[in-house]
Every structure is written in structure tokens, then in C-alpha cells.
């Protein structure tokens, strides 16, 4: 009989394992990766898209994709989809990126840096406050995560994606995740009331623990309660009696305390903190005889949503006798407790205040039993928070703009100064030294501040991303994620139609500035320049237009492939990543820079698809500021042969605005009699007539 019974038990155990294993084989790989102990999964919920995961009959947690809850757009114009697993306590069991199109990770830093960033969330509760980067500014109540250099915006988008979607699931499916309140204490709500009236209206809470509250409890707890009654010689069945008064409520604090005492209380509290006064009037007290001032009361618990709230005595009455504006019940103990501003307690929502009674389950053990009181304060004590964000949190782009205020301000100041310089260009060009100084400052500022620091290098990728957005549905928020790029593109787009491409290519492009510095270095080192023959130069200029057409066409076929082909631009390697990259990309960028020592701005002239796109839009500017003289081109060829390094002057002396970067070297020469051969060697005394071969278009 015993053998048969054992055999049945063994068979049941074996069949359970077999069923569990068979169920496990049906678990999707994404879920099994997060919950390797899972034996089965439930049906996806119909209210929100989460999948419950079980080990036999025990719920382990939920798995979901962030795309089903948020649509925060990254630099690619598409969201980053993260698969997240939450346990039943709201902890991130595991997570991984399922799909993304962020170019900085796909074609720059590599995906490992993204995956390493995401992995930091594993094991953390979604109730934590996460700070990305800036560790020196992190308080004790925050969790610090390392960011990713050169990908700040992308990781902020990923952080918002993970936290917001996880909180949405936690609030919908888990206990204790109540959405933050949109109400605050009404500072104007007040009426004169006695202590009894405050209790009757529910503004002060009365908490009695009686013998009836011990029914059904263990005999050890009952014995502890009996000992309390004997110790305090209580009449009737009352074990303990307490009053809880939140003095931060004006109707409570101003009625109980006189004006001077209420002012003293405010001085003892930091901004956002609340004061809770607790009175013990009968029996067992919330503090023990060994209570130390400025510590947490031993026998008092305050919680909300199942999570404890930190409370601490502020030692309010150690050096001052209690002073009240009206009579209070006789009390044995009184304390004013501080509730921290970050303690998570919302007075307008239900909370629980409990007295803990210690007892001994056995001779060697010590435990406690909680006697709770559910507290819900009347709604008239509160008002709608005018600053509450009812619809959704502040968009990420707004946070980024606030955080980069200084960078934005400096960039805007430079653009305003540059606009004024161009507006008064014809008055300033006679001052050769001044113009050269401004030019030198601009090159240094654009390379080091706008390029290396502010990461303001525009790219051809922006052009075909914009074209795809227009086709698929334009979203301005994508472009607002990088304020410097957005400001520069807005400025460049307007200036293209006014003065042409030269304002960007000559005064705002960091890689163009770097190439021009290489040209200055070549001049200082007396490196002989290679002059491209005019017929070859004209043909070579068309290369960049072919590259632009090919990239744009490819982007409509495959954006991912187009982004890879856009590596024809050395911008990401040199400016964005500071040459810290896989060696073939670095070698390519360095070779271009070395080649520019022999051929002035060779990349800008022949290979830059971004310059080609800007040239198409800025081919016919409204204003042509570069004036010429009758003798320019015939017979004088000084500016074409010696001054225009980019070969944007035609044989007849006119300016090709599609190629000109408006370095102003030609007009500086023209307006300086010591440099211009026309004035220096003129034979006749008749003044040379000034002409503009490119008249102003209106």
C-alpha cells in the first residue's frame, strides 16, 4: 500500500514537471529571455497590451513592449521599442531593445553602448527617480545612471520611453502604484472651530484601539494587549487612544496654535514638508519611554498605497512649552512629526496610520502587530493644483531646451552678430584687418563651440529625413530634440533664399572651418597647392550633385542603407565623435584633411552632398552682396587666380553663388587699394566705375 501511494505521488510529480516543461517550450523567446523560470504565459490582457507570466500558478509579472504605451520619437523620427518585464512589486526584471533606428548607435558609437545604458534599469523599481548623467547634482533620493557621450538626446528619449511605459503598466496592474495627485492644500480654507468640531468634521482623526480589535488575533497578541491594560490600569475595553492632526492644513494649524506658535512651526519646516501632530490621550503610546527626540516614533506607522512614509520628530516642544489657542484633551504624550517633501504622502488620497503593539511569538522572538486606521481627509481641504500637468508630462524637447539655455543663447547671439555683419558687409569690407579678425574668430568659434561642444554639425541625413517625414507625416517634435541643430537649420533655410549657401558653408559649417584651417596651415608651411584645371574643376563639381541624388533616392528605398552611405560625409567621425571611432572611418577623415593641405577645401568643392543640396536651394539668392568692378575678369584675374580658394569666380569676373562660400576675400581685396591691382596699377586718373555683375534681385 505504501509503495503504491509513493508511486502515485511520484507519477503526479513527474507529470507536473512534464507539463511545465511542455508549457515552457511554448513560451515566446522574448518572454523566456526575461523570465527564464516561467512555465506558462497567460493571454494578453484586453484593456492594455501586457502579457502575464506564471510559474505554475504563481504570477511572476508582466511583459510588454514600450511602443504599445508611448511614442516618444528619437532622432531617426521613429520610437525606440523596448521589451520590458515587471515583477509584481514593480521592479524591472529585465529588458532589451527590440527595434530602433537611432543613427548615432547604428552608424557611429555602436549598439553596445545603447544596450549597456538600457541594462542599467535591470533590478530597479519604477518608483525610483532616475537621473541620467550629471552625478554631482543627484540627491540621495535619486538613482544615477551613466549616460552615453555624444548620444545625450537619444538616451533621454530611451529613459522616458522605459520609465513612462513601465509606470503606465504598474499603475494599471500593480497594487500601490497610484498616479500622483493633481490636488494641493487649499491655503485659503479656514473657519474657526473647536477641537471637537475639528474631529467631528474629519479634519482631525481620532484613533481608538479596543478589545474588539483583538478578536481573532493570536493568543500572543492578546496576551500583549492584556499586559498593556494591566500596566495602564485602563477602565473599559480601550487599549489606546490617539489623535492625528496635520498642522499643515490651515484649518487645523491655525485653530490649534496661536499665531506666534504657527509661525514658529513654519520656520521649522523646509519647503514642501508637512507637520503631523500626534496626541496620546489613553493607554499604550506611539512612543516608548526610551524615545530619543528627533528620531522616528517606535510604535507609529504612516503609509500610502502599501508603501511606508518617512516621519521624524522635529523636537518642537523640547525647549518650548506647548502653546495652544484653545483647550485640547488631556494627553500623556505629544509630538510634532516632520513628513518629508519627497516622502510620497498625498494628503488628498487615502492613507493608513497604524499603532504597532510589540509581542513575543516565542521566548527568543520579538514581533509587532499593527492596528491601522484608514484616513481620508475631506475634499474641501484641497484645491486643484494650477501647475499640475494633467494631460501628460512636460515633453522631452522642452526639458532639453531648458537644460541647454546657455548653449542656445550663445548660438543665437552668434547668429545675430553674423546677420548684422552680413547686413553691413559692404561698409565693413574696406577694413581689411577687421574683416580678417572676424573671419578668424568665426572659424575658431564654429569649429570648437558649435561643432565640438554644441554638436551643431548639419548633415545631408537631415535633408532626406525631412523629405521622408513630409511623405510619411511631418513631426516637428523630432527636430526640436536638438535645439542647436533646429536653430541652425531654421537660420540656414531662411538665409539660403536671401544670400545663398555661402552663409552656412563659409560661416557655420564646423568641418568646413576645419578644412579652412588646414588651408591656413598649408599656407604657413608653404605647401604648394594643386590647381585644378577649369574644365576638370567644372566636371568635378558635379560629383556632389550625383552623390546627393543617389543618397536621396536610396533613402526612399532604405533609410538604414542611406544612413550607411551617408558616411561619405566625414562629419560624424571628425566633429561628432572627435575621431574616436573604428579606424577606417578615421583614416578616411584624416585623408580628406591631409588632401585639403594640397587642394583647398577639396571635400566642400567636389564631394559634399549637403553643400549640393544647399546650392540647389540657394542658387538664386534675393540679395547678391559681392560687388565687382568693370576690370574684374578682364583684364584682372587676381581674385580668381590668387584670392578665391574655392574657385567660385567665373572667367568674366562674376560670382558663381552656387559654389561661393562668401569668405569675402575677393571684396576685401577689391576694397583695399593696397591689394587690388586695378587701383594699384591704374594709369588713368579717371575713377574706375563700380559695377555689380550680379544685380540685386527683387
Residue 545 pLDDT greater than 80, yes or no: yes
The pLDDT score that the predictor gives to residue 179 is 56
Q: What is the mean pLDDT of the chain?
A: 82
- Tell me the average pLDDT across 632-648: 78
Taking only the tens place, the pLDDT of each residue in 320-368 is: 888 899 999 999 999 999 887 545 578 888 899 999 998 888 877 888 8
The pLDDT score that the predictor gives to residue 491 is 94
Tracing cell 550633385 back to the chain, one arrives at: 545
The pLDDT score that the predictor gives to residue 469 is 66
Residue 68 pLDDT greater than 90, yes or no: no
Residue 536 pLDDT greater than 70, yes or no: yes
The pLDDT score that the predictor gives to residue 343 is 52
Residue 318 pLDDT greater than 90, yes or no: no
The pLDDT score that the predictor gives to residue 517 is 93
- Tell me the average pLDDT across 545-556: 87
* pLDDT classification of 693: cutoffs 50, 70, 90: very low
CB atoms within 10 A of CB 315: 16
Mode of pairing for the β-strands spanning 351-359 and 367-375 = antiparallel
Question: What is the distance between the alpha carbons of residues 648 and 619, in angstroms, rounded to a whole number?
Answer: 13
**SS3 category, 180:** coil
Residues near 407 by beta carbon (within 8 Å), at least 6 away in sequence: 453, 454, 483, 484
CA-based max dimension of the chain: 133
Instruction: State the distance between the two ends of the chain, measured CA to CA, in whole angstroms.
Output: 109
Q: Please state, in angstroms and as integers, the Cα–Cα distance from residue 639 to each residue in 276, 303, 480, 561, following that order.
A: 82, 80, 42, 42
Residue 10 pLDDT greater than 70, yes or no: no
Determine contact, residues 70/86, Cβ cutoff 8 Å: no
Q: Phi and psi (nearest 5°) for 393?
A: -65, 165
Residues near 175 by beta carbon (within 8 Å), at least 6 away in sequence: 305, 306
**Which range scores top for mean pLDDT: 20-29, 201-210, 218-227?**
201-210
Query: What is the residue-wise DSSP string for 334-385?
Result: EEEEEE-TTS---TTS-EEEEEEEEE-SSTT--EEEEEEEEE---GGGEEE-
- Tell me the average pLDDT across 660-677: 81
What burial class does residue 32 get, using C-beta atoms within 10 Å of its C-beta: 0-12 exposed, 13-18 middle, 19+ buried? Answer: middle
The pLDDT score that the predictor gives to residue 321 is 84
- Tell me the average pLDDT across 516-535: 88
Dump strand ranges (E) for 157-231.
Answer: 183-185, 204-210
* Least reliable range by pLDDT among 134-148, 221-235, 539-553: 134-148
Query: What is the residue-wise DSSP string for 527-570?
Result: PPPPPPPHHHHHHHHHHHHHHHHHHHHHHHH-HHHHHHHGGGS-
Question: Counting every residue, how long is the chain?
Answer: 698
Tracing cell 587690388 back to the chain, one arrives at: 676
* pTM recorded for the entire structure: 0.58
Taking only the tens place, the pLDDT of each residue in 456-470 is: 889 888 776 777 666
The pLDDT score that the predictor gives to residue 594 is 93
Amino acid at each position: 500500500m505504501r509503495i503504491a501511494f509513493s508511486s502515485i505521488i511520484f507519477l503526479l510529480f513527474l507529470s507536473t514537471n512534464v507539463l511545465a516543461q511542455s508549457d515552457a517550450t511554448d513560451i515566446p523567446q522574448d518572454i523566456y529571455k526575461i523570465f527564464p523560470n516561467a512555465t506558462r504565459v497567460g493571454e494578453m490582457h484586453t484593456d492594455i497590451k501586457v502579457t502575464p507570466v506564471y510559474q505554475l500558478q504563481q504570477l511572476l509579472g508582466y511583459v510588454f513592449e514600450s511602443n504599445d504605451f508611448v511614442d516618444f520619437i528619437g532622432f531617426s523620427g521613429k520610437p525606440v521599442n523596448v521589451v520590458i518585464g515587471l515583477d509584481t512589486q514593480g521592479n524591472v526584471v529585465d529588458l532589451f531593445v527590440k527595434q530602433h533606428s537611432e543613427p548615432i548607435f547604428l552608424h557611429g558609437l555602436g549598439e553596445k553602448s545603447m544596450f549597456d545604458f538600457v541594462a542599467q534599469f535591470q533590478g530597479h523599481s519604477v518608483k525610483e527617480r532616475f537621473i541620467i548623467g550629471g552625478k554631482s547634482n543627484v540627491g540621495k533620493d535619486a538613482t544615477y545612471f551613466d549616460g552615453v557621450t555624444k548620444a545625450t538626446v537619444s538616451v533621454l528619449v530611451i529613459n522616458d520611453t522605459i520609465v513612462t511605459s513601465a509606470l503606465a503598466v504598474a499603475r494599471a496592474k500593480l497594487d500601490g502604484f497610484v498616479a500622483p495627485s493633481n490636488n494641493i492644500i487649499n491655503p485659503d480654507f479656514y473657519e474657526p472651530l473647536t477641537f471637537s468640531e475639528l474631529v467631528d468634521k474629519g479634519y482631525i482623526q481620532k484613533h481608538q484601539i479596543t478589545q474588539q480589535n483583538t478578536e481573532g488575533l493570536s493568543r500572543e497578541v492578546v496576551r500583549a494587549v492584556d499586559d498593556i491594560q494591566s500596566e495602564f490600569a485602563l477602565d473599559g475595553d480601550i487599549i489606546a487612544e490617539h489623535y492625528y492632526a496635520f498642522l499643515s492644513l490651515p484649518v487645523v494649524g491655525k485653530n490649534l496654535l496661536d499665531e506666534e506658535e504657527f509661525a514658529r512651526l513654519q520656520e521649522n519646516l523646509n519647503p514642501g514638508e508637512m507637520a503631523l501632530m500626534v496626541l496620546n490621550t489613553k493607554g499604550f503610546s506611539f512612543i516608548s519611554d526610551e524615545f530619543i527626540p528627533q528620531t522616528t516614533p517606535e510604535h507609529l506607522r504612516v503609509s500610502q498605497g502599501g508603501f511606508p512614509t518617512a516621519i521624524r520628530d522635529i523636537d518642537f516642544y523640547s525647549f518650548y512649552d506647548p502653546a495652544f489657542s484653545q483647550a485640547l484633551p488631556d494627553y500623556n504624550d505629544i509630538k510634532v512629526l516632520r513628513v518629508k517633501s519627497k516622502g510620497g504622502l498625498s494628503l488628498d488620497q487615502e492613507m493608513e496610520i497604524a499603532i504597532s503593539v510589540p509581542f513575543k511569538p516565542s521566548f527568543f522572538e520579538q514581533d509587532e502587530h499593527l492596528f491601522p486606521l484608514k484616513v481620508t481627509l475631506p475634499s474641501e481641504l484641497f484645491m486643484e493644483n494650477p501647475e499640475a500637468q494633467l494631460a501628460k508630462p512636460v515633453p522631452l524637447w522642452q526639458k532639453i531646451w531648458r537644460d541647454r539655455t546657455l548653449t542656445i543663447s550663445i548660438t543665437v547671439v552668434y547668429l545675430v552678430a553674423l546677420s548684422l555683419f552680413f547686413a553691413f558687409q559692404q561698409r565693413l569690407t574696406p577694413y581689411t584687418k577687421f574683416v580678417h579678425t572676424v573671419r578668424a574668430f568665426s572659424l575658431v568659434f564654429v569649429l570648437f563651440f558649435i561643432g565640438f561642444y554644441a554638436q551643431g554639425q548639419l548633415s545631408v541625413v537631415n535633408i532626406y529625413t525631412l523629405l521622408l517625414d513630409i511623405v510619411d507625416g511631418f513631426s516637428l517634435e523630432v527636430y526640436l530634440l536638438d535645439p542647436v541643430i533646429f536653430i541652425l537649420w531654421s537660420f540656414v533655410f531662411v538665409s539660403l533664399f536671401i544670400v545663398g549657401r555661402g552663409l552656412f558653408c563659409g560661416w557655420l559649417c564646423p568641418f568646413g572651418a576645419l578644412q579652412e584651417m588646414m588651408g591656413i596651415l598649408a599656407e604657413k608651411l608653404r605647401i604648394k597647392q594643386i590647381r585644378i584645371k577649369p574644365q576638370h574643376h567644372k566636371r568635378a563639381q558635379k560629383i556632389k550633385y550625383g552623390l546627393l541624388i543617389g543618397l536621396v533616392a536610396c533613402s526612399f528605398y532604405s533609410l538604414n542603407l542611406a544612413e550607411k552611405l551617408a558616411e561619405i560625409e566625414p562629419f560624424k567621425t571628425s566633429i561628432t565623435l572627435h575621431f574616436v571611432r573604428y579606424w577606417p572611418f578615421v583614416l578616411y577623415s584624416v585623408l580628406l584633411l591631409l588632401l585639403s593641405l594640397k587642394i583647398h577645401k577639396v571635400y566642400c568643392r567636389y564631394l559634399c552632398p549637403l553643400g549640393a543640396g544647399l546650392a540647389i536651394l540657394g542658387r538664386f539668392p534675393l540679395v547678391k552682396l559681392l560687388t565687382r568692378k568693370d576690370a574684374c575678369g578682364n583684364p584682372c584675374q587676381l581674385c580668381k587666380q590668387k584670392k578665391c580658394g574655392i574657385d567660385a569666380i567665373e572667367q568674366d569676373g562674376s560670382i558663381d553663388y552656387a559654389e561661393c562660400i562668401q569668405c569675402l576675400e575677393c571684396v576685401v581685396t577689391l576694397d583695399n587699394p593696397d591689394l587690388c591691382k586695378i587701383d594699384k596699377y591704374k594709369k588713368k586718373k579717371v575713377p574706375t566705375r563700380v559695377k555689380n555683375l550680379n544685380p540685386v534681385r527683387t
